[in-house]
Amino acid sequence: MSDEIIEATPEQVIAVIEQMVDLPWPDGDEWLEWELDGIEGQTTYLMHLLPLAATSDAAAQASFTSALVVAANRRWGARRYFDATRFTDDKHTDPASYDRRSAPASLVRSLGADTAAWWPLGSDAVVLADSSGAALERSKAAVFVLPAQWLAGPGAEEDALRAPLVADFLSGEKARILNAVWEVFATRDPEILAPLALALPAIEKATADADLGGMLASNSANLEHALDRIELFGKGVCLCAAYPSHQFYDPAKEVRRGHIRIVETVPSDWKRVPDRICECRDCGKRFQVEEGEYHYTWWKWTEAGRS
């Protein structure tokens, strides 16, 4: 756009904006050119873009955008404000801490503006960036239509993806994944398990083809059990329910972790270690635990009622 302001009424612009939400999205990084009701714009992977002004006459631009805001308020309700100075993450930011609002914020700042007005439109957001008040030699204005999630703060699922153990599971690194597996085995702490439960679909996808090795016992089986344990937590099931399905729950360690107490032993003339009756300290369920050894020590947990 040369030194000009779009030749259209605010109502005509709004009519075009409401059609923009149905425009197709491009593949990859290409730009799509489009025309609606004689007004031209472009689409990227992130947004549909409608240029409004690029002019040295800031007063005229301000007059046009002010009228557009009034019309938009009548059509979509009171405008909201987006502070583009608050979100400055870029390609160098750790992906785990990247705030997606930085993408539209960067677009707003690229036009010389620090703030933008915006309106929800279905599942999309209409963003009006206008630098006419910035005392620039050449001010600009444009409308972006993009999915509303780009203006929303991180949700619970996204917060979960930033949790340390979630990051370990998603890392693709054998050592980090196995560390996370054994941490899940060892804990009942909701603060640790809640993010894992929210991120479970992402974890399952990221670890589906992980080669975790294991000389005597399959680490893939250990991973599967850790994910089952996370699922139990997500369903609100007491985690003692995991004991019977895995052979590496050492009663002595579970006592030290505060998960169970050993209430009695079962004498045996032929077993090296007598069975123990263990009681879950969270739900009261009891298990008879047999200890054995082959290439490694194992424990078999069998339900034995409640206290």
Cβ atoms of 141 and 117 closer than 8 Å = no
The per-residue pLDDT for range 150-170, each reduced to its tens digit, is: 998 777 777 788 889 999 999
Cβ atoms of 198 and 169 closer than 8 Å = no
CA dihedral 111, 79, 90, 42 (to 10 degrees): -60
Write the CB contacts of 17 (distance below 8 Å, at least 6 apart in sequence): 50, 121, 126, 143, 145
Where does the pLDDT of residue 27 fall: very low under 50, low under 70, confident under 90, or very high at 90 and above?
confident
Residue 276, φ and ψ in degrees, nearest 5: -120, 145
Is it the case that residue 134 has pLDDT exceeding 60? yes
- Residues 285-306, mean pLDDT to the nearest whole number: 90
As a whole number of angstroms, the distance between CA 246 and CA 41 comes to 60
Print burial letters for 18-46: b (CB count within 10 Å at least 16), e (below 16): bebeeeeeeeeeeeeebebeebebebbee
Looking at residue 155, its pLDDT comes to 74
Looking at residue 2, its pLDDT comes to 62
The per-residue pLDDT for range 177-223, each reduced to its tens digit, is: 999 999 999 999 988 999 999 999 989 998 988 888 765 567 888 99
Q: Would you call 238 exposed, middle or buried from its count of C-beta atoms within 10 A (0-12, 13-18, 19+)?
A: middle
Q: Which of 23-27, 173-177, 215-219, 272-276 has the lowest mean pLDDT?
A: 215-219
Looking at residue 273, its pLDDT comes to 85
Looking at residue 211, its pLDDT comes to 81
The per-residue pLDDT for range 224-258, each reduced to its tens digit, is: 999 999 999 999 999 999 999 999 999 999 999 99
The per-residue pLDDT for range 205-218, each reduced to its tens digit, is: 989 888 887 655 67
Residue type, 178: L
The per-residue pLDDT for range 30-63, each reduced to its tens digit, is: 899 999 999 999 999 999 999 999 999 999 999 9
What one-character-per-residue DSSP string does 69-82 give?
Answer: HHHHHHHH-S-EEE
Looking at residue 234, its pLDDT comes to 92
The per-residue pLDDT for range 71-121, each reduced to its tens digit, is: 999 999 989 999 999 999 988 887 767 888 999 999 999 999 999 999 999
Question: Can you say whether the dihedral through the CA atoms of 242, 246, 250, 253 is positive or negative?
Answer: negative
Where does the pLDDT of residue 122 fall: very low under 50, low under 70, confident under 90, or very high at 90 and above?
very high
Looking at residue 183, its pLDDT comes to 95
